[in-house]
Amino acid sequence: MQNTHTNMETTILSALKIKKIKKSKLDKATLNNRKFGSTFTDHLFICTFKNGKWQKPKIKPYKPLKLEPSARVFHYGQAVFEGMKAYKDNTDQIWLFRPDENQLRINASAKRLAMPEFPKELFFEGLETLLKIERDWIPTEDGNSLYIRPFMIASGKGIFAAPSEEYTFMIICSPSGKYYTKDVQVVIAEYYSRAANGGVGAAKAAGNYGAQFYPTQKAIAQGYDQIIWTDSNHEYLEEAGTMNVFFRINDTLITAPTSERILDGITRKSIIAIAKASGIKVEVRKIKVTEIKEAVKNGTLKEMFGSGTAAVVTPISHFSHQNTDYEIAQVKSRYSDLFKKILTDIQYNKSEDKFGWRYKV
């Protein structure tokens, strides 16, 4: 696509209207190792849904929004989002990782929340144009990337408890360092639940995250970082809210099958594929809390780790269940290190991508 008037403040690019800021707020000296999700780039992508259709998309300066106090998102929580990352290689080329999966998933989440789907062409046009404008904001140091947050909210006014008639789809970007800076310690849920059968657990609905804050605060107060959520009987291990979870018993990699309670993680499915391609035995099956307690006691639980876009691959060093703390013995060559290396080498264009996951911007 060509800019028609590159020297002007406002340009029209096909249907996409672009208004650039006059002076970037980028401070290159502090670009790397920024606290995850705490600062945002100069521009955002925005598109509104009105009168039954998506309106002209725009890229404009990042600044506070004007919203009706009665907007449905504030009252009924109609909000969905995605998490993606842009990586820059040593030739300055920008890469995404399996963005088609995020595009499909935000629409699946939107459908579950009775929101309109966002068109694929607009998603990619908006995302790629925004990334090209913000290319200098993409950190290059190891463990750093540009975290991308596409999201959609019900922006229509009115507090009748029904889906909104207006929506706003946006993409914002945040130069970010690691989400977890060390191995994490988790509590296995015994009382609170994240999701239920027939609920919204598989969707990336904002409320799924907000609802975890209170129980997670309690876990943090006890010295843990996260909760591993269990099924409604608190018998089977499901996911950690910010990450899917994996267990290595002897040399077998085990993870719970996705379900209507568990997010279909893109990093999760990539790790399963990497493990299989590396000749590691993988079992995607239900896993009981008692099974890992037994395995830690008899020394067969070799590793536990989480996976996610933000978390990448994060080792879990301890878990707690029924007020007992279990330490996972450290093995020399960890699967988590292997998977993280293979995955990030693909993401940062440091290795061949035999899976076809890398996407050139």
Positions touching ligand COI (CB under 6 A) are: 83, 209, 242, 308-311
Q: Least Å distance between CB 209 and ligand COI?
A: 6
Residue (186 or 295) nearer to ligand COI, CB? 186
Q: Least Å distance between CB 183 and ligand COI?
A: 17
Residue (62 or 209) nearer to ligand COI, CB? 209
Give the up-direction half-sphere exposure of residue 223: CA atoms within 13 A in the CB hemisphere. 7
Q: Least Å distance between CB 158 and ligand COI?
A: 29
Residue nearest to ligand COI (CB): 83
Number of residues that make up the chain: 361
Q: Are 174 and 149 in contact (CB under 8 A)?
A: yes
Residue (275 or 312) nearer to ligand COI, CB? 312
- Residue-wise DSSP of 96-139: EESHHHHHHHHHHHHHHTT-PPPPHHHHHHHHHHHHHHTGGG--
Pick from 316, 313, 315, 314: nearest CA to 343: 313
Residue (106 or 296) nearer to ligand COI, CB? 106
Residue (145 or 185) nearer to ligand COI, CB? 145
Q: Least Å distance between CB 149 and ligand COI?
A: 8
Please tell me the distance from the alpha carbon of residue 260 to that of residue 80, in angstroms, as a whole number: 16
Q: Least Å distance between CB 275 and ligand COI?
A: 20
Please tell me the distance from the alpha carbon of residue 138 to that of residue 26, in angstroms, as a whole number: 11
Q: Least Å distance between CB 344 and ligand COI?
A: 14
Q: What are phi and psi of 110, to 5 degrees?
A: -60, -45
Residue (262 or 301) nearer to ligand COI, CB? 262
CA 79 → CA 72, 123, 164, 171, distances in Å?
9, 17, 11, 13
